[in-house]
Structure 1
Amino acid sequence: MNTAASSALLEASRRAVRGIVTMGQDRQVFFTQQYERARESLEQLALVRSPTDLLKLQSDYAQAAVGTAFAEGSKIAEDWLKVASEIAEPIMTCFTNTTAPAGKAGASD
Protein backbone atom coordinates (compact mmCIF):
# COMPACT_ATOMS: atom_id res chain seq x y z
CA MET A 1 0.00 0.00 0.00
CA ASN A 2 1.41 3.39 -0.92
CA THR A 3 1.80 6.40 1.34
CA ALA A 4 -1.18 8.27 -0.14
CA ALA A 5 -3.50 5.34 0.50
CA SER A 6 -2.21 4.93 4.04
CA SER A 7 -2.69 8.62 4.71
CA ALA A 8 -6.22 8.50 3.29
CA LEU A 9 -7.15 5.54 5.48
CA LEU A 10 -5.65 7.22 8.53
CA GLU A 11 -7.61 10.43 7.86
CA ALA A 12 -10.81 8.45 7.24
CA SER A 13 -10.29 6.66 10.57
CA ARG A 14 -9.79 9.96 12.38
CA ARG A 15 -12.96 11.34 10.84
CA ALA A 16 -14.87 8.21 11.82
CA VAL A 17 -13.76 8.49 15.43
CA ARG A 18 -14.62 12.20 15.59
CA GLY A 19 -18.03 11.58 14.07
CA ILE A 20 -18.87 8.69 16.37
CA VAL A 21 -17.71 10.61 19.45
CA THR A 22 -19.86 13.57 18.44
CA MET A 23 -22.86 11.32 17.87
CA GLY A 24 -22.32 9.72 21.27
CA GLN A 25 -22.25 13.13 22.93
CA ASP A 26 -25.44 14.11 21.11
CA ARG A 27 -27.15 10.92 22.29
CA GLN A 28 -26.01 11.59 25.85
CA VAL A 29 -27.62 15.04 25.76
CA PHE A 30 -30.79 13.56 24.25
CA PHE A 31 -31.09 10.82 26.90
CA THR A 32 -30.47 13.32 29.68
CA GLN A 33 -33.28 15.49 28.33
CA GLN A 34 -35.55 12.47 28.00
CA TYR A 35 -34.80 11.45 31.58
CA GLU A 36 -35.75 14.93 32.79
CA ARG A 37 -38.99 14.85 30.77
CA ALA A 38 -39.87 11.44 32.18
CA ARG A 39 -39.17 12.65 35.72
CA GLU A 40 -41.41 15.69 35.18
CA SER A 41 -44.14 13.45 33.79
CA LEU A 42 -43.98 11.22 36.86
CA GLU A 43 -44.27 14.27 39.09
CA GLN A 44 -47.34 15.37 37.13
CA LEU A 45 -48.73 11.86 37.35
CA ALA A 46 -48.52 12.02 41.14
CA LEU A 47 -50.75 15.12 41.09
CA VAL A 48 -53.53 13.55 38.99
CA ARG A 49 -56.87 13.48 40.78
CA SER A 50 -59.24 11.98 38.21
CA PRO A 51 -59.19 9.20 35.62
CA THR A 52 -59.93 11.74 32.89
CA ASP A 53 -56.86 13.78 33.83
CA LEU A 54 -54.80 10.58 33.96
CA LEU A 55 -55.84 9.59 30.42
CA LYS A 56 -55.16 13.08 29.09
CA LEU A 57 -51.72 13.18 30.72
CA GLN A 58 -50.88 9.72 29.43
CA SER A 59 -52.09 10.61 25.93
CA ASP A 60 -50.06 13.84 25.86
CA TYR A 61 -46.95 12.04 27.07
CA ALA A 62 -47.32 9.23 24.50
CA GLN A 63 -47.90 11.69 21.68
CA ALA A 64 -44.83 13.72 22.65
CA ALA A 65 -42.73 10.55 23.02
CA VAL A 66 -43.64 9.30 19.55
CA GLY A 67 -42.91 12.69 17.99
CA THR A 68 -39.57 12.88 19.78
CA ALA A 69 -38.65 9.34 18.75
CA PHE A 70 -39.30 10.06 15.07
CA ALA A 71 -37.40 13.35 15.21
CA GLU A 72 -34.42 11.75 16.95
CA GLY A 73 -34.47 8.83 14.51
CA SER A 74 -34.28 11.26 11.59
CA LYS A 75 -31.44 13.15 13.26
CA ILE A 76 -29.50 9.92 13.83
CA ALA A 77 -29.92 8.92 10.17
CA GLU A 78 -28.73 12.35 9.02
CA ASP A 79 -25.76 12.18 11.39
CA TRP A 80 -24.73 8.73 10.07
CA LEU A 81 -24.95 9.95 6.47
CA LYS A 82 -22.82 12.97 7.33
CA VAL A 83 -20.20 10.81 9.07
CA ALA A 84 -20.18 8.33 6.17
CA SER A 85 -19.61 11.10 3.61
CA GLU A 86 -16.84 12.60 5.76
CA ILE A 87 -15.18 9.18 6.02
CA ALA A 88 -15.43 8.52 2.28
CA GLU A 89 -14.04 11.90 1.20
CA PRO A 90 -10.29 11.27 1.80
CA ILE A 91 -10.53 7.76 0.34
CA MET A 92 -12.32 9.02 -2.79
CA THR A 93 -9.81 11.85 -3.17
CA CYS A 94 -6.93 9.38 -2.96
CA PHE A 95 -8.63 7.07 -5.46
CA THR A 96 -9.28 9.95 -7.86
CA ASN A 97 -5.69 11.21 -7.57
CA THR A 98 -4.33 7.71 -8.09
CA THR A 99 -6.48 6.83 -11.10
CA ALA A 100 -6.30 10.23 -12.82
CA PRO A 101 -2.70 9.78 -14.07
CA ALA A 102 -3.53 6.28 -15.30
CA GLY A 103 -6.55 7.63 -17.18
CA LYS A 104 -4.48 10.35 -18.83
CA ALA A 105 -1.79 7.87 -19.84
CA GLY A 106 -4.40 5.54 -21.35
CA ALA A 107 -6.03 8.39 -23.25
CA SER A 108 -2.76 9.48 -24.87
CA ASP A 109 -1.97 6.00 -26.22
Structure 2
Amino acid sequence: MGVVLTEKAAAEVKRIVDDQKLEEGTVLRVGVTGGGCSGFSYALGFDTSYDETVDSKFDFHGVSVVVDKKSALYLDGTTVDFYDGIEKRGFTFENPNAVKSCGCGSSFQA
Protein backbone atom coordinates (compact mmCIF):
# COMPACT_ATOMS: atom_id res chain seq x y z
CA MET A 1 0.00 0.00 0.00
CA GLY A 2 2.76 2.47 0.87
CA VAL A 3 2.37 6.15 1.68
CA VAL A 4 -0.39 8.31 0.20
CA LEU A 5 -0.02 12.04 -0.47
CA THR A 6 -3.26 14.02 -0.62
CA GLU A 7 -3.95 16.55 -3.34
CA LYS A 8 -3.67 19.41 -0.83
CA ALA A 9 -0.29 18.13 0.42
CA ALA A 10 0.93 17.69 -3.15
CA ALA A 11 -0.02 21.29 -3.96
CA GLU A 12 1.99 22.52 -0.96
CA VAL A 13 5.00 20.41 -1.96
CA LYS A 14 4.85 21.87 -5.49
CA ARG A 15 4.63 25.39 -4.03
CA ILE A 16 7.73 24.79 -1.88
CA VAL A 17 9.67 23.30 -4.79
CA ASP A 18 8.80 26.33 -6.94
CA ASP A 19 9.49 28.90 -4.19
CA GLN A 20 12.86 27.36 -3.34
CA LYS A 21 13.69 26.80 -7.03
CA LEU A 22 14.66 23.19 -6.39
CA GLU A 23 16.11 21.29 -9.33
CA GLU A 24 14.10 19.26 -11.82
CA GLY A 25 13.42 15.73 -10.61
CA THR A 26 13.35 16.62 -6.91
CA VAL A 27 11.35 14.07 -4.90
CA LEU A 28 9.67 14.26 -1.50
CA ARG A 29 11.36 11.82 0.87
CA VAL A 30 9.14 10.56 3.71
CA GLY A 31 10.74 8.58 6.50
CA VAL A 32 10.91 7.67 10.15
CA THR A 33 13.69 8.49 12.59
CA GLY A 34 14.20 7.38 16.16
CA GLY A 35 13.30 9.92 18.83
CA GLY A 36 10.49 12.26 19.62
CA CYS A 37 8.30 12.06 22.70
CA SER A 38 6.63 8.81 21.54
CA GLY A 39 9.63 6.87 20.18
CA PHE A 40 9.63 7.64 16.44
CA SER A 41 9.48 10.92 14.53
CA TYR A 42 8.26 11.55 11.01
CA ALA A 43 10.83 12.96 8.59
CA LEU A 44 10.02 14.97 5.47
CA GLY A 45 12.62 16.34 3.12
CA PHE A 46 13.60 16.83 -0.48
CA ASP A 47 16.03 14.65 -2.37
CA THR A 48 17.35 14.61 -5.91
CA SER A 49 17.85 10.87 -6.19
CA TYR A 50 16.66 7.54 -4.93
CA ASP A 51 17.92 3.98 -5.05
CA GLU A 52 15.42 1.42 -6.39
CA THR A 53 17.08 -1.31 -4.31
CA VAL A 54 16.37 0.39 -0.96
CA ASP A 55 13.57 2.88 -1.78
CA SER A 56 9.97 2.63 -2.95
CA LYS A 57 8.69 5.41 -5.20
CA PHE A 58 5.09 6.56 -5.56
CA ASP A 59 3.54 9.35 -7.63
CA PHE A 60 0.63 11.46 -6.40
CA HIS A 61 -0.85 14.50 -8.13
CA GLY A 62 2.39 15.22 -9.98
CA VAL A 63 4.67 14.72 -6.95
CA SER A 64 7.10 11.80 -6.60
CA VAL A 65 7.26 10.41 -3.06
CA VAL A 66 10.16 8.19 -1.96
CA VAL A 67 10.19 6.00 1.17
CA ASP A 68 13.12 3.86 2.25
CA LYS A 69 12.20 0.24 2.92
CA LYS A 70 13.02 0.41 6.64
CA SER A 71 10.68 3.40 7.14
CA ALA A 72 8.04 1.74 4.94
CA LEU A 73 7.51 -0.89 7.64
CA TYR A 74 6.22 1.84 9.98
CA LEU A 75 4.52 4.00 7.34
CA ASP A 76 2.52 1.48 5.31
CA GLY A 77 -0.96 2.92 4.79
CA THR A 78 -0.02 6.38 6.09
CA THR A 79 -1.71 9.41 4.53
CA VAL A 80 0.28 12.66 4.41
CA ASP A 81 -1.98 15.71 4.27
CA PHE A 82 -1.50 19.44 4.63
CA TYR A 83 -3.49 21.46 7.17
CA ASP A 84 -3.79 25.23 6.91
CA GLY A 85 -5.87 26.64 9.73
CA ILE A 86 -5.88 29.55 12.14
CA GLU A 87 -4.36 27.55 15.01
CA LYS A 88 -1.71 25.65 13.04
CA ARG A 89 -0.27 25.07 9.60
CA GLY A 90 1.76 22.13 8.33
CA PHE A 91 1.90 18.57 7.12
CA THR A 92 -0.06 15.95 9.06
CA PHE A 93 0.29 12.17 9.20
CA GLU A 94 -2.55 9.70 9.57
CA ASN A 95 -0.74 6.48 10.38
CA PRO A 96 -2.75 3.29 10.97
CA ASN A 97 0.38 1.63 12.44
CA ALA A 98 0.73 4.13 15.28
CA VAL A 99 -0.52 2.73 18.57
CA LYS A 100 0.18 6.02 20.36
CA SER A 101 0.85 9.58 19.18
CA CYS A 102 1.94 12.64 21.05
CA GLY A 103 0.15 15.99 21.17
CA CYS A 104 2.49 17.60 18.65
CA GLY A 105 1.51 15.07 15.96
CA SER A 106 5.08 14.66 14.75
CA SER A 107 6.01 11.55 16.72
CA PHE A 108 4.41 8.18 17.33
CA GLN A 109 4.82 4.76 18.87
CA ALA A 110 4.42 1.62 16.75
TM-score tier by shorter-chain length is under 0.3
More helix by share: 1
Higher radius of gyration, 1 or 2? 1
Which one scores higher on RCO, CA 8 angstroms, separation ≥ 6? Answer: 1
Higher strand share: 2
